[in-house]
């Protein structure tokens, strides 16, 4: 059996399991905002790394992703001269709690769950991840978040903390992500790595982060391919129904 030592899979979420670009673009269009939805999504996401860096550097005290998303959103609305009632801004900020999964995510997770413990391992806060799992019918066994460790990926505390909570050695945990930088940080902590291609993560014109062939333990086209490569048979569809 391939990778027989792996006991748990830890999933990056934004872009790897759910389609933030498409979901946000659609919501901005529905909201009738005078903005290009795709551009709006890209700008929002572009503020994400700098905002987390402010937390890492200590310039900001610990602030969860809901809080960081709101700070970025306020900047974007301000820069575009869009004035919305507070309730509308708060509701828009919650779009990150109802992002749609990629078409293969729920079924692929259900198949992987037959053999592995499935955990989220995201910078998203716990309540956001719970909402995403319920929204998309994603059958995770547990929700692990940077919030539990007061550190954001790619800080090692997050990867090592996940292995500790799962009561596994780092080498028994495989990080699954569409982002080479996330996987490289996981590998430095001793985790195994699976890269999943998500060519549309940043929209039709987006360019994925480059990586070297053979750099990760697995390179997969989607979650069905990942399951195949990990030796999970395509069994009866046991995915949860969305509530």
> How far apart (Å, rounded) are the C-alpha atoms in residues 192 and 10?
10
Q: Which is nearer to a second copy, 52 or 117 (CB)?
A: 117
Number of H helices, E strands in the chain: 10, 6
Q: Which is nearer to a second copy, 30 or 164 (CB)?
A: 164
23 lies in the binding site for a second copy (CB under 8 A): no
Between 68 and 107, how does the x/- string for binding to a second copy read (CB under 8 A)? ----------------------------------------
Q: Which stretch binds a second copy (CB under 8 A): 23-31, 75-83, 132-140, 173-181?
A: 132-140
Among 29, 48, 66, 200, binds a second copy (CB under 8 A): 66
Q: Could you tell me which residues come within 8 angstroms of residue 213 by beta carbon, excluding any fewer than 6 positions away?
A: 219
Tokens 């046991």 belong to 238
Report whether 140 contacts 118 (CB < 8 A).
Answer: yes
67 lies in the binding site for a second copy (CB under 8 A): no
Q: Which is nearer to a second copy, 82 or 91 (CB)?
A: 91
Q: Which stretch binds a second copy (CB under 8 A): 134-142, 188-196, 204-212, 217-225?
A: 134-142
Q: Which is nearer to a second copy, 145 or 198 (CB)?
A: 145
Q: Shortest CA distance to 187 belongs to which of 205, 214, 226? A: 214
Q: Which is nearer to a second copy, 49 or 114 (CB)?
A: 114
**β-bridge partners, 119:** 10, 142
Nearest distance, CB of residue 134 and a second copy, angstroms: 6
133 lies in the binding site for a second copy (CB under 8 A): yes
* CA distances for 144 relative to 40, 75, 117, angstroms: 28, 29, 12
157 lies in the binding site for a second copy (CB under 8 A): no
Among 54, 63, 139, 225, binds a second copy (CB under 8 A): 139
Q: Shortest CA distance to 98 belongs to which of 140, 128, 54? A: 128
Q: Could you tell me which residues come within 8 angstroms of residue 67 by beta carbon, excluding any fewer than 6 positions away?
A: none
Report whether 130 contacts 66 (CB < 8 A).
Answer: no
Binding site for a second copy (CB under 8 A): 66, 113-115, 117, 125-127, 129-130, 133-134, 139, 141-143, 147-148, 165-168, 238, 240-241, 243
């Amino acid at each position: 059996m391939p990778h027989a030592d792996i006991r748990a899979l830890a999933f990056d979420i934004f872009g790897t399991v759910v389609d933030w670009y498409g979901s946000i673009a659609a919501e901005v269009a529905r909201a009738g905002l005078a903005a290009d939805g795709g551009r709006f999504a890209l700008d929002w996401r572009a503020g994400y790394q700098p905002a987390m860096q402010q937390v890492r550097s200590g310039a900001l005290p610990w602030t969860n992703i809901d809080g960081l998303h709101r700070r970025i959103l306020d900047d974007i609305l301000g820069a575009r001269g869009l004035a919305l009632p507070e309730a509308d801004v708060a509701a828009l900020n919650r779009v990150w709690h109802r992002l749609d999964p990629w078409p293969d995510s729920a079924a692929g997770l259900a198949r992987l769950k037959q053999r592995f413990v499935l955990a989220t391992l995201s910078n998203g806060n716990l309540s956001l991840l719970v909402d995403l799992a319920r929204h998309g019918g994603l059958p995770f066994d547990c929700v692990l978040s940077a919030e539990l460790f007061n550190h954001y990926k790619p800080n090692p505390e997050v990867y090592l903390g996940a292995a500790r909570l799962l009561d596994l050695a780092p080498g028994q945990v495989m990080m699954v992500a569409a982002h080479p930088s996330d996987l490289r940080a996981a590998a430095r902590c001793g985790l195994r790595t699976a890269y999943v291609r998500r060519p549309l993560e940043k929209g039709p014109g987006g360019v994925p982060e480059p990586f070297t062939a053979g750099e990760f333990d697995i390179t997969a086209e989607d979650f069905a391919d990942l399951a195949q490569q990990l030796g999970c048979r395509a069994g009866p569809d046991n995915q949860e129904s969305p509530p």
